[in-house]
Structure 1
């Protein structure tokens, strides 16, 4: 039976009255007449009910399921006349009586679970049951469809804006005006190259007139080699790239040619479906060349033990588990690792399906242990050897001046397939039932007509029927640009993940991406050409009241730069940056003793050997990453520690970050070098300050700012003139040559002012 409009209205009023801002899933009933299982009910059941009444059969209570239609509509075993849920009937639905009961022995969830339904959640379930309790497949496991963009006003530049403006209007918001040209130039340059725009670039594009249009700016930035370096930061986090093996001895490894390949692939605009196919299974392609095999190093970036006495099979299994978890999280956006030991508690993935996925990676000849640190190789079996002939041929993008051979850990297949078993509780020495390679049926059945190996997995993953792959990558690109994905939980599109703020837009972009050849640069240009992207970042009171997290994008997001790009900005603006593309990792300045404190005292990396010369001024992407001692400055600014796959970083604000920007040798050295440069290039200190300001903050200085900084300069100048013994001590920082002519009070004073510029929030903030 259907609930009356009057009763429904009363229930909705109760829902809205009882909903608080603290609820994780926002309830928006004004936009739909029918309550959605996916967007209103499933999040409640997943949070409060699926632990005991969900997919995990081993933990299921009373043999009762609420995650499937069949389970929810079933009659109770102890009373066949009663139903778990009777669509359209509250009185005949046991669930309704249990969630509204005042008897602690009957109430669900039980009080001892420390879970409780709010009044708003109970009312939502009431309306849903009364309206028919319609179940829907989980939105992320349904093939995306390209719906028509809604018709909106003239503000929209492209289809993205049509979806964004429609949702914005439904929240009572309106878009911000367009940002100033210098703001857009800085924003686009940081988003596409990770580097600040030079004063020359700012002047060239000025007001976006004639040939110097905004579109041409985007094209030029994507043609810059820095594009591949900027994109590679995200992919190094996903592929858990590092320069050491982790675990106890943590010796050196040589996976950096893989990083060179990733930069090259992004700069060549390799289609995304090819990009991940080569990484998953380049070695299995017909007549595979060394570039395709090199790409498979993606799978081999996990940690390796070099500790004597370990059990080989135990660690070999660990490595395969890591591969499985990386692919599922990084490429599919699902938490398959939760099913290693038991059926997933929330998502429709069984332990059997986990090990069927595991089976794709279980056929490589790698070993769990290859010897202790004294005989360790910089690459583990299977190995790709690269010589000078390769570097002048198919691998000419690898930047390597040494004449010795390079060795990289890559993938290979055993001639005779290794059997795969479900492991009891996920333990390496507890095999049970044998399984064949396959994929979770809830996502997409694995076709019968393709290979049951990694190449077949890649074909399954890049099939246009696969509901996840394109959605997940499009969401990652959105996250790169706006700081937060359309799905906030970028690595979890499952039941416990966040709902998309703009589901129709996400699907439209995913389908459009596939229809246009999985073209990454086109996707980014599409996003960054939108009016949504080009808005001012100015915040109004209404923004803070209605949408403090900027979920609905009525303004540009203000985001601190990633750790690597903070280093890049400082080096580039000072003129110190060495724009060498690719090559081995470098060891910049490091706090004394911190490396050795975490070392075992054995192997090539037992002590820190800082690099010299140009190597000190490379981009942050190339900093050496030892897993047991991640770069401390980068960690302070929330970089990944690279010991596992990560698809997003947090952004924190801590006093340590300010201490880094005020005291780091790199920042002080860059300030000293830039001070010497601007004083030499300009006749007055005021002009020198304005030039430094434009290089660092990427805009012209205002009169008020000029007065403040000039006063500070004069204060510091007086200080150094009064205490000449402090001049050289202040300037002697870093290894860049300090010329005798620059050892004076003016340079020392200007250096202090530039340090303060680097410490401005605006400096390291996009928008």
Structure 2
């Protein structure tokens, strides 16, 4: 039997020594349900498919049903009850059977017998009944929390501990509310404050700090399964950190927990949602995702919806809903059909089944700050002005269709220049290889025509100048490219090339030794050999057919490159020549264009208009449709306007590129959205994604308050689900929430199993207190800061953690809270504390995850070759010293220090971290580079701020780490250790220098390495004290 299953029985025996006496009234929820749930419900519970002998013991009706002349339970008569007969016998008839491997103890058997004798009264499961606010027991000390706790302590014959001393209190409270220790100045101020409200003032101060939200957010992010990568297969980076930062803001702004719930479950469904509400909806997008080849979309849509359902139920209802994916829940009254009714709320999410291994898997929200919004608005106004200028030119155009002229014009030869005196307007000109491009004037060298030409010199390497992402150039019918080049007779190149970019650099013409230039595959359009090099010392016209290079008429060229291997060459007057018969060319004749159909205008037509015109001849177009297409033709196709409009289009394109650059540089976060047409949802038989059974509608379990349908007949949605969770009569949401906050400060919740309020979970140690906190939380307007304040101002929280022999004997697990718990600090707090006392901590708030020190080769063993998280690239500078909240979390290889101290990998929701105690933890605290560097930086502070003598410095450092004064024996031990280290490093200057340089931060040059090294060892010792790594 697991320890957590054994605890209820141990607690019963510990707290109820008279439990088995005949006159002791038993409670079904407290005394009986845990026994039946652990030993009987698996075969005789809610799950009809797994039920044996058609016997139910989870309901009174089932237990007392006629089973053919006998009953499992006969109230008041154990001897006639089949349950008692079977549990008190032996051999093959005993229950539970031997192969169940969970035999009942004699005490448990006697408890069941006594209960049957008392009439076997059943009770609804405590957590499925809405809490009713109980009266606060009379008490003269503490707040209402203490009244409930003292009543129970009094019943058990125990007394609460006295208050802890002030240094202990401020350290405990500051760590619990901010995740950081107090400074000596803060300790002094609190100790010296003799006001009756000094402690409450300290609480208010700590809750007002930004560090409060950072620390509180960490617990929620465990629940939300937040991480910085997708989690499966390549486990690539995802842009999710704005959600993490929103959680920090929400706690700092004390966002009401009901709104905190609505925004996360359904922020996208609120009317005109704000940016923060949309960011909050990213809670539903924190689940692990994949894009592995061969994955089946339907399977992953199913898995994501199951994860979101199980997570929401665990986080807000504290139930193990995932147990009902394949079959009815074995222990709780949650059927598979009810699970899939909840699942239906999440099944229509609009995110794709495959995440694409990209950082911005839609739906996303781009977070543009106010200054950039203003800049973009100004750029859009400029673009609109250009549109008006284009409109004016089109309106003033005196167009005559050449197809309608008589006689019709004869064909013309046209040369369209793409390069002369510079690249096309608006082009993004780049250079690669060799010196940058050089535009020369006639006085500096040969120019074929115009004012400037392009000259490049290369020394046995490829050199090229090109433009890309600029104005689009179109290949005309029967187009022939030409370019004039001048090869320096004193320094001729060995090969020259002209390249063309469409979707890629795939079309090239080369002259000379083509082997010298390694671009393209020979004898394909990627590398067409045009012959020998042209003559040197003169301008030579090069020509190449567009079709010969694989460039068909109408192809858009988005870039070209002049390339060479060695030598010096000048390029000029580059473009395309073609014959045009205007009367037959759709680029000149509107009549010819419309007769050929709108296919030639392609994607330039708005989607709605293109669909509208599809399958219809132009003579069937409306006047409005004709005007729309004609306007687009004149501006985008008609050759007579292209040269006139080109400068305007180039300017507009530059503005659009600037807008796009601002957008791309802005942070992105995942948000939730639903498909416009919801998916049908079904019971998936045996939990198989491809085995649908009965269709289900969105709904909630029958054992919980009803969620009625909408009056307008529209389907229920996630917002309805969120509002249902927040109903005052909902039995779970408030209880589960206050229990988690309690757990945060006391180590364990009033309900020990914070993720399971069902039959398999533990009953609350103080049920009346739990219900009072839950109902008061709602009455306070779901105010989380007020709830936290109420907990930390209680005597129970403020009392000493000293353990008396009586407490150890009577309450070893501290469930009665006669003392404050003493707990090891969480992983993040341990690291942050070391950075804080060292002075290295960088208090910057928010932003993308950072990558501090990490042992080598942690990511690579689980990384894929094409993953962007295959290799860990450590940050430098301030990023090394940010709070641990901001450490980049790769799910398949989380930060090893964090993992060693039980931080979850965030692959699934985590309601309670474990607390292990391993040798690896001690080794890391002593030897991890982050901690050794922190000790070295702390050593500098000790020397510079701690006083003049070694004794003064030790006393100061001790107080910085533990908040209390060191005793004389402690100072003596530390002083002896310091002297031993000083002697050692004076004899080994190299080791001292090496330790003094540990980490990336620079040591103080005014401190001798030997001294710094010795104090580093002292600082390391203090940071490893039991008091330093625990909270008293």
Q: Shorter-chain TM-score category?
A: over 0.9
- The answer as to whether partners of 2:324 and 2:334 remain within 8 angstroms in 1 is yes
Alignment of 1:459-474 (within 5 A): 459-474=723-738
* Alpha-carbon spacing, 1:22–1:439, altered in 2? closer, same or farther (3 Å): closer
The farther-off stretch of 24-33 and 266-275 is 24-33
* Alpha-carbon spacing, 1:95–1:320, altered in 2? closer, same or farther (3 Å): same
What's the CA shift string for 1:265-316, capped at 9, x where partnerless? 0000011111011000001011112211110100101111121221111111
> Is 1:589 the counterpart of 2:853 in the alignment?
yes
Structure 1 equivalent of residue 577 of structure 2: none
Which residue of 311, 324, 328 maps to 1:343?
328
> Is 1:425 the counterpart of 2:686 in the alignment?
yes
Q: Distance in 2 between matches of 1:674 and 1:43?
A: 51
What's the CA shift string for 1:515-573, capped at 9, x where partnerless? 11011010111111111111111111111111111111111100011100111100111
> Is 1:189 the counterpart of 2:189 in the alignment?
no
- The answer as to whether partners of 2:891 and 2:907 remain within 8 angstroms in 1 is yes
The farther-off stretch of 490-499 and 700-709 is 700-709
SS in structure 2 at match of 1:616: helix
> Is 1:354 the counterpart of 2:339 in the alignment?
yes
Alignment of 1:275-674 (within 5 A): 275-371=260-356, 376-389=357-370, 404-449=665-710, 452-674=716-938
* Alpha-carbon spacing, 1:237–1:336, altered in 2? closer, same or farther (3 Å): same
- The answer as to whether partners of 1:447 and 1:460 remain within 8 angstroms in 2 is no
Structure 2 equivalent of residue 274 of structure 1: 259
Shift of 1:449: 4.3
The farther-off stretch of 84-93 and 538-547 is 84-93
**Which ranges of structure 2 fall in alignment gaps of 5 or more residues?**
375-661
Q: Distance in 2 between matches of 1:25 and 1:347?
A: 23
Structure 1 equivalent of residue 189 of structure 2: 204
SS in structure 1 at match of 2:796: coil
> Is 1:108 the counterpart of 2:95 in the alignment?
yes
Shift of 1:24: 5.2
Which residue of 60, 69, 89 maps to 1:69?
60
Q: Distance in 2 between matches of 1:110 and 1:198?
A: 61
SS in structure 2 at match of 1:762: helix
> Is 1:23 the counterpart of 2:284 in the alignment?
no
Q: Distance in 2 between matches of 1:664 and 1:428?
A: 45
Q: Distance in 1 between matches of 2:831 and 2:288?
A: 27
Q: Distance in 2 between matches of 1:723 and 1:211?
A: 55
* Alpha-carbon spacing, 1:370–1:486, altered in 2? closer, same or farther (3 Å): closer
Q: Distance in 1 between matches of 2:762 and 2:62?
A: 24
Q: Distance in 1 between matches of 2:663 and 2:196?
A: 43
Q: Distance in 1 between matches of 2:371 and 2:897?
A: 36
Q: Distance in 2 between matches of 1:437 and 1:204?
A: 57
Q: Distance in 2 between matches of 1:388 and 1:174?
A: 56
Shift of 1:251: 0.6
- The answer as to whether partners of 1:601 and 1:607 remain within 8 angstroms in 2 is no
Structure 1 equivalent of residue 435 of structure 2: none
What's the CA shift string for 1:434-487, capped at 9, x where partnerless? 000111111222233486110000010011110000000100000000000000
> Is 1:88 the counterpart of 2:76 in the alignment?
yes
- Superposition TM-score, scaled by structure 1 size: 0.93
Structure 2 equivalent of residue 15 of structure 1: none
Structure 2 equivalent of residue 761 of structure 1: 1026
Alignment of 1:231-242 (within 5 A): 231-242=216-227
What's the CA shift string for 1:492-528, capped at 9, x where partnerless? 0000001110011000100000011011010111111
Structure 1 segments, 4+ long, off by >4 Å, are 19-22, 27-33, 390-393
- The answer as to whether partners of 2:368 and 2:663 remain within 8 angstroms in 1 is no
* Alpha-carbon spacing, 1:22–1:522, altered in 2? closer, same or farther (3 Å): closer
Shift of 1:714: 1.1
> Is 1:686 the counterpart of 2:951 in the alignment?
yes
- Tell me the C-alpha RMSD between the 2 structures: 1.9
Q: Distance in 2 between matches of 1:528 and 1:181?
A: 14
Structure 1 equivalent of residue 213 of structure 2: 228
Q: Distance in 2 between matches of 1:381 and 1:260?
A: 20
- The answer as to whether partners of 1:243 and 1:252 remain within 8 angstroms in 2 is yes
Which residue of 138, 156, 168 maps to 1:151?
138
Q: Distance in 1 between matches of 2:1013 and 2:72?
A: 77
Q: Distance in 2 between matches of 1:180 and 1:151?
A: 27
What's the CA shift string for 1:560-600, capped at 9, x where partnerless? 11100111100111111111111111000010112212211
- The answer as to whether partners of 2:8 and 2:762 remain within 8 angstroms in 1 is no
Shift of 1:20: 9.4
- Superposition TM-score, scaled by structure 2 size: 0.69
**Which ranges of structure 1 fall in alignment gaps of 5 or more residues?**
1-18, 394-400
Structure 1 equivalent of residue 558 of structure 2: none
The farther-off stretch of 50-59 and 110-119 is 110-119
Shift of 1:115: 2.5
SS in structure 2 at match of 1:83: coil
Shift of 1:65: 0.5
* Alpha-carbon spacing, 1:590–1:765, altered in 2? closer, same or farther (3 Å): same
Structure 2 equivalent of residue 120 of structure 1: 107
Shift of 1:377: 2.3
SS in structure 2 at match of 1:26: helix
Shift of 1:229: 0.6
- The answer as to whether partners of 1:387 and 1:403 remain within 8 angstroms in 2 is no
Q: Distance in 1 between matches of 2:981 and 2:234?
A: 48
> Is 1:99 the counterpart of 2:87 in the alignment?
yes
Q: Distance in 1 between matches of 2:1023 and 2:118?
A: 59
* Alpha-carbon spacing, 1:334–1:599, altered in 2? closer, same or farther (3 Å): same
- The answer as to whether partners of 2:831 and 2:884 remain within 8 angstroms in 1 is yes
